[in-house]
Structure 1
Amino acid sequence: MKKRKIPMRKDIVTGEMAPKKELVRIVRDKENNVAVDPTGKMSGRGAYITLDVDVAKKAKKDRTFDKVFETKVDDTFYDDLISYVDHQQARRELFDNGKA
């Protein structure tokens, strides 16, 4: 059986390459609205961040998405991002441990 290529993306906070499934896409649309894109299919400029709470907190501290998207991003977005990443990280740990 042919081995499938794993799509890789760069985490904008750490600068490390990781498999796309281990990252979450953040998107800015034409109206400069910034949102989490769990499906990875929303239209707009996208950037990826690792599903790690510490990385999300660092993004908030450094205002990473303000710089990447060249727009003012509300603190509420960063708080929502941290809670989303925390939830996804907990789900991943719960279900990955169940497989082993």
Structure 2
Amino acid sequence: MQKVRKVPLRKCVGCQEMSDKRQLLRVVLTPEGEVLLDPTGKQNGRGAYLHGKLECLQLARKKKSLERALKTMIPDTVYDRLALSVEGVAK
């Protein structure tokens, strides 16, 4: 009999819904202080998760929940770059 593996769950910082880790996008604050989208999910640094929808990113920006999760201030240029990345991933 095979062992059933647990599915790791993470919470989207935008809509606050729990989802399978593989269905979410990871945003990471690198040790150098740069905020990036982490497609592999394995990059070093503090991470936060978002659904691959622009609405979740806009909610996270409005509520400043992404800033709280990463414990840093995020400039507007980074949000714009993340929006472009999320749109590219969603297609």
* TM-score after normalising by structure 1: 0.76
Bigger relative contact order, structure 1 or 2 (CA pairs below 8 A, ≥6 apart): 2
| CA RMSD between the two structures | 1.8
Structure 1: segments with no counterpart, 5+ residues: 91-100
Cross-structure match for 1:36: 37
Structure 2 CA distance, aligned partners of 1:67 and 1:16?
17
Structure in which a larger fraction of residues adopt helix? 1
* TM-score after normalising by structure 2: 0.82
User: 53-62 or 74-83: which moved more?
Assistant: 53-62
**The residue matched to 1:82 in structure 2 has which SS?**
helix
Structure with greater Cα Rg: 1
Structure 1 CA distance, aligned partners of 2:73 and 2:50?
18
Structure 2: segments with no counterpart, 5+ residues: none
For residues 18-40 of structure 1, give each alpha carbon's deviation from its aligned partner in whole angstroms, at most 9, with x where no partner exists: 01121100111223221111111
Structure 1 CA distance, aligned partners of 2:31 and 2:88?
28
**For this pair of structures, how many residues does the alignment match?**
90
